[in-house]
Structure 1
Amino acid sequence: MANYTRPLMLHHVVEVLHKCKIEKSIRSLNIGSTNLRCIQTTSTRWNEPVKLAYTSYEGMNSQKMSPSTMMTPIIIQHGLLGSRKNWASLSKAIHSKTGRKVIVPDARNHGDSPHSNNLDYEVLSQDIMKLMEDLQIPKATMVGHSMGGRAMMKLALTNPSLVDRLVVVDISPVNVSPGAQAMTEFLTVMKDIDLGDQLKRATARKIVDEKLQVVVKDTLLRQFLLTNLVEDNGKFRWRVNLKSIIQNLPNIIGHFPLKSEEYHGPTLFIGGAKSDYIKPTDHEVIREIFPDAQFQYIPDAGHWVHSEKPGQFLEIVLKFMHEKD
C-alpha cells in the first residue's frame, strides 16, 4: 500500500501518502530515522480539497536552521504530467543549502495523490492550502513549474498571507505557449494505448515510445511522459488520471483565471531562453499583477529549465531566497 523512500545520507525523508475522504486504515512505521505515515481513503467530493501525497526533506544541516527559516518552509509543485519525484534532486539540494524544510507534493490526478474529476487552478491552490493546514504551516515560500507555477500564482493572489515569496518556473499568467495547444493529441494517444498483460518493462516502454513518436517528436518529452508508466499487478498503466486531465485541459492551458487580485510579495519568474512560455513582451502586464516581479532567463534551456540546467537554476533560486524584502 505504501510507497516510501529509504533514509538518505545525513537527512530524513518523510513520505506521507494521503487520500480523501473516509479513512480505511492508518499505520505508522519507523524505518531507521525515517517516519512513514500512510492514510488510505476514498476519493473526494467534487469541490473539496484532496490530501496530497508528498515528500518532506528535513533534518539535514540543522546548524543552519534558525527560528525564521524553520517557520518558512519551501513548497514545490510540479507541472502537468509530472510528479514530486521530478524534483527530488533539486529539493535535496535546496534543503542542504538553506537548512529549510522542503515539501514536494504530487498534484491531484498525478503521482500518488488522489484522482478527481475536477482539475483547475482553484482546486489545485486549495489542495496546497489543505496541505499547509494539515502540516500546520502558516506561511511558506512557493515554487511551481508550469501548471504548478500557475497553481502557486493563484494561491498567492487569493491568499497572499500564506506566501512568503514566490518562484514561478517557465509559465506566465498572461499567455500560454502555442505548443501547449497540441497536448490534447498526445494525451489522447497515451489514453488509447493498450499494453495487454505480462510484458517486460523494457518491452512496454518500447511499445509506448513507438506509439508516441507519431505525435511527440521530441525525445526528451517522450522520456518525460514515460515516467508516468507504472506496473500494476503484471500490467502497465498510466499513473496520471488521463481522463480527467483531457477533460479539464482547457482549465490548465487556457487563460489564467484573473480577477482584480495582486500579490505584492517578492516574486521571481524563471524562464528558459529557448522557451516561449514567458515572453518579454508580457513583463509589463505581469508586473500589474505581481508588482515586485523580477525575471531571469537561463541560456540554452527550454520549458523544463530546472532539469535541463539544474546548477544554474539552483543558483538563481538560492540567491532570490536569500535576498531581503
Structure 2
Amino acid sequence: MKISGALLLFFLLKFTECGPVRNHNVQAVDLDYFCMRQISTPENEKLAPIILLHGLGSTKEGWDGAYQLLAVHTKRKVCVPDLRNHGSSPYSKEADVEAMAADIVRMIGSLNTDKAILLGHSLGGKVAVHVALNHPDKVEKLIVEDMRPNGITPVVLKQIKGFMQLVRAGVASIPEGLTEHEAKVHFVKFILEKTKQMNVSTDLTVNEADRIPIRCTDGKCSFRVNVELFQKVIKDPESFLTHSEGVYKGPALFIYGTKSPFKVGEDEANIHKLFPKAKLVPVEGAGHIIHLKHDKFWDETIKFIISDS
C-alpha cells in the first residue's frame, strides 16, 4: 500500500445559493494571515485578491513559493491565512468546516473587497467549496485541489485515523533541546521508519521537513495544530466535514491527482450538480499534493485565473 506524503503533512484530508450558514450560530474569528502584491497599480488594485487555503494539519507557511508565483503571474494581491485551530490563528471548540468557512467570509470583508478568488487544497478546498455554495457573491472564482465537495473515500478515512495517531507519536518522540529544523528532521525520520515497519510506502522525504508545522520554544517542540481538532476528526469525521449544498454558478476548477486516494474524478456528476460551470482537470501520476510537485497545476491555475471566464 502507498500513502501519499499529503497524508503525513496535511493528513490528506452540505446550503442554498444565497442563504446563510445554517447548522448553528457560528462565531467567526479573526484569522492570522499575510498578503503580498508584486506591483501596485490603479488597475490591479481593482482585481479581486486570491486567498490560499491550506489542508488539515498544515499552516500558511505550506504555501511558501506558491503565493509569490501567483502574485507575479496574476498581478493580484495574494493572501494566505492559517485556518482556525491551525498555526497562529485562534483555537476554538467550534472546529468544523462550517466554522472555518465563516472565518473566510469575515476575512474577505477585512480585505475591503467585495469578493475573492479562493484556492484550497484538501481541507482548504472543502472550506472554499462551502464558502462558494453559501456566499456565491463573495467568490469570483473557485479552485479546488484534490478534494470532493462532499465526503471522503473509506480508504482516506482509514488512513487519516491511522496517521493522526502516528503523527502524534512522532511529535511525542522529539527529544528536548533540538533546534526547530532538527526537530522537523527527527519527526520525518520517525515517520519514515514507522511506515517502513508497517510495510507502507510514502513519497514524504527529509527534504520536505521544513514544511512540517512544528514549533520549538525553549527546547520543547509541539505541533502547531489544536489537539482537540485531531480528536474531533477521529471521533466524528462526518460532522467535521460539514455537508455542503446549493449551486455556485461562477467559474470553478477542480484539479486532482489520478493516483490520489480521494478519487475526485469519480465524483464528476455531483461536482457538476453543485458547480454547473466546473472544469475538471486530472493530473496524470499525481497523488494528493499536486501544487508542490507538478507544473501542470500552476499552468492550469494561472490560465484559469487570468482568463475572462
Which residue pairs with 1:186 in the alignment?
Answer: 163
1:220 aligns with 2:198: no
Which residue pairs with 1:153 in the alignment?
Answer: 129
Write the distance in 1 (CA, Å) between the matches of 2:123 and 2:75: 27
Number of residue pairs aligned between Structure 1 and Structure 2: 275
Write the distance in 1 (CA, Å) between the matches of 2:166 and 2:81: 27
Match of 1:316 among 300, 303, 307: 300
> Residue 49 of structure 2 contacts residue 79 of structure 2 at CA under 8 Å; is this kept in 1?
yes
> Residue 119 of structure 1 contacts residue 251 of structure 1 at CA under 8 Å; is this kept in 2?
no
State the 1:226 CA deviation.
6.6
1:201 and 1:104, CA in 2 relative to 1: closer, same or farther beyond 3 A? closer
Deviation string, structure 1 residues 126-184 (Cα, Å, up to 9, x no partner): 01011112222210111101000000000000111000010011001244242342222
Q: What is the correspondence of 1:206-217 to structure 2 with a 5 Å cutoff?
A: 207-212=186-191, 213-215=193-195, 217=201
**TM-score (norm: length of structure 2):** 0.80
Write the distance in 2 (CA, Å) between the matches of 1:179 and 1:158: 26
1:100 aligns with 2:79: no
Write the distance in 2 (CA, Å) between the matches of 1:135 and 1:229: 29
> Residue 188 of structure 2 contacts residue 209 of structure 2 at CA under 8 Å; is this kept in 1?
no
State the 1:251 CA deviation.
3.8
1:237 aligns with 2:222: yes
Which residue pairs with 1:115 in the alignment?
Answer: 91
Q: Which amino acid aligns with 2:194?
A: V
Match of 1:281 among 257, 266, 291: 266
Write the distance in 2 (CA, Å) between the matches of 1:224 and 1:48: 34
> Residue 181 of structure 1 contacts residue 253 of structure 1 at CA under 8 Å; is this kept in 2?
no
Q: Which amino acid aligns with 2:269?
A: E
> Residue 83 of structure 1 contacts residue 110 of structure 1 at CA under 8 Å; is this kept in 2?
yes
1:303 aligns with 2:288: yes
Q: Which has the higher strand share?
A: 1
1:93 and 1:203, CA in 2 relative to 1: closer, same or farther beyond 3 A? closer
Which residue pairs with 1:9 in the alignment?
Answer: none
Q: Which runs of 4+ in 1 moved over 4 A?
A: 200-203, 221-226, 252-256
> Residue 143 of structure 1 contacts residue 152 of structure 1 at CA under 8 Å; is this kept in 2?
yes
Larger radius of gyration: 1
> Residue 78 of structure 1 contacts residue 86 of structure 1 at CA under 8 Å; is this kept in 2?
yes
What stretches of structure 2 of length at least 5 have no aligned partner?
A: 1-24
Write the distance in 1 (CA, Å) between the matches of 2:43 and 2:239: 40
State the 1:282 CA deviation.
1.7
Deviation string, structure 1 residues 67-114 (Cα, Å, up to 9, x no partner): 6x6241111101111111111211111111111101111111112112
> Residue 145 of structure 1 contacts residue 171 of structure 1 at CA under 8 Å; is this kept in 2?
yes
Write the distance in 2 (CA, Å) between the matches of 1:208 and 1:284: 40
Deviation string, structure 1 residues 2-22 (Cα, Å, up to 9, x no partner): xxxxxxxxxxxxxxxxxxxxx
Write the distance in 1 (CA, Å) between the matches of 2:61 and 2:210: 13
Which residue pairs with 1:78 in the alignment?
Answer: 54
Q: Which amino acid aligns with 1:49?
A: A
> Residue 180 of structure 2 contacts residue 214 of structure 2 at CA under 8 Å; is this kept in 1?
no
> Residue 28 of structure 2 contacts residue 99 of structure 2 at CA under 8 Å; is this kept in 1?
yes
State the 1:255 CA deviation.
5.8
1:152 and 1:280, CA in 2 relative to 1: closer, same or farther beyond 3 A? same
Match of 1:62 among 40, 54, 63: 40
Q: Which amino acid aligns with 2:289?
A: W
Write the distance in 1 (CA, Å) between the matches of 2:185 and 2:298: 33
1:210 and 1:71, CA in 2 relative to 1: closer, same or farther beyond 3 A? closer
SS in 2 for 1:143: strand
Write the distance in 2 (CA, Å) between the matches of 1:154 and 1:239: 24
State the 1:253 CA deviation.
8.9
Which residue pairs with 2:176 in the alignment?
Answer: 197
> How much is the aligned-residue C-alpha RMSD, in angstroms?
2.6
Write the distance in 1 (CA, Å) between the matches of 2:77 and 2:226: 29
SS in 2 for 1:220: coil
SS in 2 for 1:62: coil
Match of 1:169 among 134, 145, 148: 145
Write the distance in 2 (CA, Å) between the matches of 1:154 and 1:195: 37
What stretches of structure 1 of length at least 5 have no aligned partner?
A: 1-45
**TM-score (norm: length of structure 1):** 0.76
State the 1:218 CA deviation.
1.5
Deviation string, structure 1 residues 166-205 (Cα, Å, up to 9, x no partner): 0011001244242342222222233342535323556534
